[in-house]
């Protein structure tokens, strides 16, 4: 959360209500739409009139505690957004028990525990984008192990479902930790194992958005490992849940589908139109929709979309022998750099790698080597080994084109530990 933002903005940019709380009606309407219910359908499901639901959603505060507890359970609304504690919603006592007496210290700790883990997860993703995730990787993994224990102990019911969903999101962050630790077999298998656990929980809990996120991330892992056909299948499977996702996740699903389908091979004009259409849809989301947090912690902005467009144009130029696309790709990458912000340091590596590939495609060997060195330096500042394999392959191609003794290329090789 950035300085000056209201505390609930990581859930959604709701209008302020009384008592330093979000507008409860807006919260209710948002989570009703996330469950893909109209006001009429939701009213029928819970046995009230449509006018009653409309009245609740217009109210800045819902005064009846029991009603708020009920709505939090039905719509899986984080209790804090409705002015409730976790224990009030998912504890075993009746609602009046919370109003009549004080919670014990142990009960208060239990009530706060969920939010502690949720806050830690949000911090982990923030550090990921800043390029500092590996600094706290061991601590995050300890939290993950403890969270797995909590999920095993929590009784079956709505509370357990909420904890399991949170665990699924922790697994997705653990995938990123494994990927950035290195490309050795153990880390690759670890990333796929964590992803499979997240996918299992998403399917078990019938959470389409979490399932789509896990499928898309798995597609990215397989794409990175050169399994382009499998990556394509996974990305297309994630699009089956596109309408059940919010804009940040929607945009990322579209961009991943375009990238993986193109990498597997663009055979004709129809294929090219399709992958371009997906990228245009993502760009439209940025321009026409207010991008609010959706629980996936994914970013969707102009910098990312322009970068993906640059990569696609570069790929099409190579696959379809259309060098005129390189100029468009360079323009897109320039637009991406203009929109780049320092807190997204992890993207700096990707942008520099794409720049290196563009320079090489244009025959600018020295420029390519310099861009690759920038990518390597940014990766090492993060402590990430995720990109070493890609950079070494690029170095090999640069040597083939330039021959030995070209200083920028040799400097890249020395920095990578290649002393051939």
Q: What is the torsional sign of CA 65, 67, 72, 73? A: positive
Q: What is the pLDDT of residue 112?
A: 55
**Residue closest to 311 by CA, chosen among 296, 333, 344:** 333
Structure tokens at 136: 């706290």
pTM of the model: 0.80
In this structure, of 36-45, 130-139, 220-229, 316-325, the range with the lowest mean pLDDT score is: 36-45
Average confidence (pLDDT) over 196-220: 95
* Average confidence (pLDDT) over 101-130: 71
Please tell me the distance from the alpha carbon of residue 348 to that of residue 177, in angstroms, as a whole number.
18
Neighbours of 47 (CB within 10 A): 7
Q: Are 293 and 9 in contact (CB under 8 A)?
A: yes
Which carries the bigger pLDDT value, residue 9 or residue 141? 141
pLDDT for res 4: 55
Q: Are 236 and 256 in contact (CB under 8 A)?
A: no
163 close to 150: Cβ distance less than 8 angstroms: yes
Return the pLDDT at 83: 86
CA distance 186 to 179: 10
**Cβ pair 149, 170 in contact under 8 A:** no
Q: 3-class DSSP state for residue 72?
A: helix
Residue with tokens 């949000």: 122
What lies within 8 Å, CB to CB, of 214 at 6+ separation is: 168, 172, 195, 198, 199, 202
Question: Rounded distance, CA 167 to CA 140, Å?
Answer: 12
d(C-alpha 211, C-alpha 201), whole Å: 8
**Mean pLDDT taken over the chain:** 88
Handedness of CA 41, 46, 52, 58 (dihedral sign): negative
152-171 pLDDT, tens digit each: 887 777 778 888 999 999 99
CA angle, 226 as apex, 215 and 414 as ends, to 5°? 125
For residue 217, the model assigns a pLDDT of 97
Structure tokens at 397: 């191609």
Q: Are 347 and 340 in contact (CB under 8 A)?
A: yes
Q: Could you tell me which residue, 293 or 302, shows the higher pLDDT?
A: 302
Q: How confident is the model at residue 91 (pLDDT cuts 50, 70, 90)?
A: low
| Cα–Cα distance for residue pair 331/307, rounded to 1 Å | 10
Q: Which residues contact 271 (CB under 8 A, 6 or more apart)?
A: 261, 265
In CATH, the architecture of 7-101 is: Orthogonal Bundle (1.10)
Enter the DSSP assignment of 166: H
Positive or negative, the CA dihedral 241, 243, 244, 248 is positive
Of 349, 353, 337, the residue nearest 378 (C-alpha): 349
In contact, 169 and 160? CB cutoff 8 Å = no
Q: What is the pLDDT of residues 316-352, one digit of tens each?
A: 999 988 889 999 999 999 999 999 998 899 999 999 9
Q: Is the pLDDT of residue 61 over 60?
A: yes
Token code pair at residue 365: 């060997």
Percent helix, strand, coil in the chain, to 5, is 75, 0, 25
351 or 103, which is more confident: 351
Q: What percent of the chain has pLDDT over 70?
A: 92
- Confidence label for 404 from pLDDT (cuts 50, 70 and 90): low
Q: Is 182 exposed, middle or buried (0-12, 13-18, 19+ CB in 10 A)?
A: middle
| Residue 97: pLDDT over 70 | no
pLDDT greater than 90 at residue 394: yes
pLDDT at 103: 40
Q: Give residue 96's pLDDT.
A: 44
CA distances from 131 to 136, 176, 184, 293 (A): 11, 11, 20, 20
């Amino acid at each position: 959360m950035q300085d000056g933002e209201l505390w609930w903005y990581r859930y959604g940019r709701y209008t302020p209500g009384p008592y330093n709380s979000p507008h409860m009606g807006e919260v209710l309407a948002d989570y009703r739409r996330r469950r893909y219910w109209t006001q009429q359908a939701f009213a029928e499901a819970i046995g009230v009139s449509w006018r009653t639901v409309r009245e609740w959603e217009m109210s800045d505060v819902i005064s009846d505690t029991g009603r708020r507890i009920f709505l939090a359970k039905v719509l899986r609304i984080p209790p804090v957004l409705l002015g409730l504690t976790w224990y009030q919603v998912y504890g075993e006592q009746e609602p009046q028990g919370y109003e009549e007496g004080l919670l014990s210290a142990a009960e208060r700790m239990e009530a706060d525990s969920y939010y502690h883990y949720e806050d830690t997860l949000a911090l982990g993703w923030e550090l990921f984008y800043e390029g500092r995730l590996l600094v706290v990787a061991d601590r995050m993994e300890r939290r993950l192990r403890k969270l797995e224990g909590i999920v095993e102990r929590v009784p079956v019911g709505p509370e357990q479902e909420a904890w399991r969903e949170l665990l699924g999101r922790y697994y997705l962050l653990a995938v990123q930790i494994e990927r950035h630790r290195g490309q050795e077999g153990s880390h690759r298998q670890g990333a796929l194992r964590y992803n499979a656990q997240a996918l299992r929980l998403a399917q078990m809990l019938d959470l389409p958005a979490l399932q789509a996120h896990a499928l898309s991330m798995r597609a990215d892992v397989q794409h990175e490992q050169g399994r382009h056909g499998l990556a394509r299948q996974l990305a297309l499977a994630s699009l089956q849940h596109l309408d059940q996702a919010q804009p940040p996740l929607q945009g990322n699903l579209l961009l991943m589908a375009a990238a993986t389908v193109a990498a597997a091979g663009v055979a004709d004009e129809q294929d090219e139109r399709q992958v371009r259409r997906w990228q245009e849809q993502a760009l439209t989301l940025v321009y026409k929709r207010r991008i609010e947090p959706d629980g996936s912690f994914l970013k969707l902005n102009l910098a990312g979309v322009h970068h993906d467009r640059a990569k696609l144009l570069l790929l099409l130029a190579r696959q379809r022998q259309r060098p005129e696309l390189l100029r468009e790709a360079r323009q897109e990458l320039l637009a991406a750099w203009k929109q780049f912000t320092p807190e997204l340091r992890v993207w700096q590596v990707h942008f520099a790698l794409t720049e290196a590939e563009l320079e090489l495609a244009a025959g600018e060997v020295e420029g390519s080597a310099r861009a690759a060195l920038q990518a390597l330096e940014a990766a090492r500042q993060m402590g990430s080994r995720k990109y070493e394999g890609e950079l070494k392959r690029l170095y090999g191609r640069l040597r083939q084109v330039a021959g030995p003794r070209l200083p920028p290329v040799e400097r890249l090789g020395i920095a990578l530990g290649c002393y051939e």
